[in-house]
Structure 1
Amino acid sequence: MRKTELHRTTAETDIVLEMDLDGDGTASEIATGVGFLDHMLTLFSRHSGIWMKLSCKGDTWVDDHHSTEDIGIAMGCAVARALGDKRGIRRYASLTLPMDESLILCAVDISGRGGCYPVLDFPSEKIGTFDTELVEEFLRAFAVNAGITLHVRRIAGSNSHHIAEGCFKALGRAMREAVSIDQRFRTAVPSTKGVL
């Protein structure tokens, strides 16, 4: 069972998270206090099949930065914990995902070496009240703490909402494949080093 629970508290946020990598993502309960992020994480959960029960009480009267980044940290830590020694996982995944006029490339390597390399260039600074730069903050926090090498690129797109939505859907789809068990190699760690 690749499940975990996590409680992360700082002076800025209080996050409670349950995660099941082998869920179906249809019944996740997400309440971050940031409406747009709720929407994005619901998409991520549905497309990854990763079930989550996530709540965050954050200092959103300041802005959405602390909550968004800390949720990325918590989710990344939970993924790393739920994967354990990573035995049997496919490890790699990549896809190009269309979202209306937007086209997003996403590539994932569950390498144990966290790094995030986004090239998104949002055409606007905000989506409603949500700062578009926070998409990259979330992706970086998630990737580094999950031990994932993550590349996300906007190939096309003129609508910031669609670009962000494409990113979270693409990340979800890539994670779905990368964390899945390869039945042919289900007892092996997918590395010539024998450890990830």
Structure 2
Amino acid sequence: MKRETRETSVEVQLGVEGSIETNDRVLDHLLVTLFHYMGKKVSIRATYDLRHHLWEDVGITLGEELRSKLPEKFARFGSAIMPMDDALVIVAVDISGRPYVSVELSYGEGETGFEKALVREFLWGLARSLRATIHVKTLSGINAHHVIEATFKGLGKALGEAVGESEKLESTKGLLEVWG
């Protein structure tokens, strides 16, 4: 999947052995973490003008690529409670056709490059294009790096579950509106 704007150029390919090169060391680190815990191979290339645009557009492109690879019947739901040192974070995903994000990230000590606003932009981009509901809640944590990395680990686990195949359509309506 490729996204080109005046602000960014992003290419995401799932199922391909490759590297992650966005030229943002923090985002690269978090994406490596995400896909490790998701259990998926990926290749990501990006250029950008502002970090805000990069994080949002990587989220959008990733969501489009994930949506294009969904099996006809998929698990839909995924969740994780992820500890990392001082951090404990809950992440829940519902690929339902209804984009929504609730992000409650909290920590006492910031760290250069690890910013709540960028995480929120990434998650909103992902949720809109994947057509998913994503909830993130910090239960405890002091260090920004630990809280945000635990978030991406948990997101990887939750997405890995949600995109997995299912034997049945996971909807009491008999329809999931994620295509179109």
Please give the TM-score of this superposition, normalised by the length of structure 1: 0.84
> Cα deviations across residues 114-145 of structure 1 (Å, max 9, x unaligned)?
11111112435x53245332011111111121
Alignment equivalent of 1:74, drawn from 61, 73, 78: 61
Q: CA RMSD in A?
A: 1.6
**What CA distance in whole angstroms lies between the structure 2 residues aligned with 1:127 and 1:72?**
22
Q: Is residue 45 of structure 1 aligned with residue 29 of structure 2? A: no
Q: Is residue 121 of structure 1 aligned with residue 86 of structure 2? A: no
Residue of structure 2 in register with 1:35 after alignment = 25
Residue of structure 1 in register with 2:157 after alignment = 173
Unaligned 5+ segments in structure 2 are none
Residue of structure 1 in register with 2:11 after alignment = 16
The answer on whether the counterparts of 1:68 and 1:138 sit within 8 Å (CA) in structure 2 is yes
Q: Is residue 195 of structure 1 aligned with residue 175 of structure 2? A: yes
The answer on whether the counterparts of 2:31 and 2:152 sit within 8 Å (CA) in structure 1 is yes
The answer on whether the counterparts of 2:34 and 2:152 sit within 8 Å (CA) in structure 1 is yes
> 1:163/1:176 Cα in 2 relative to 1: closer, same or farther (>3 Å)?
same
The answer on whether the counterparts of 1:116 and 1:144 sit within 8 Å (CA) in structure 2 is no
Aligned residues: 176
Residue of structure 1 in register with 2:2 after alignment = 7
Residue of structure 2 in register with 1:161 after alignment = 145
**What CA distance in whole angstroms lies between the structure 2 residues aligned with 1:19 and 1:114?**
21
The answer on whether the counterparts of 1:28 and 1:42 sit within 8 Å (CA) in structure 2 is no
Name the SS of the counterpart of 1:121 in structure 2: coil
Q: Is residue 97 of structure 1 aligned with residue 82 of structure 2? A: yes
Please give the TM-score of this superposition, normalised by the length of structure 2: 0.91
After the TM superposition, list the runs of 4 or more consecutive aligned residues in structure 1 that deviate by more than 4 angstroms.
none
> Cα deviations across residues 56-90 of structure 1 (Å, max 9, x unaligned)?
0111xxx411111110111011111111xx53311
**What CA distance in whole angstroms lies between the structure 1 residues aligned with 2:108 and 2:61?**
29
> 1:114-153 maps to which residues of 2 (within 5 A)?
114-124=99-109, 127-153=111-137
Residue of structure 2 in register with 1:3 after alignment = none
Name the SS of the counterpart of 2:106 in structure 1: coil
Percent identical: 35
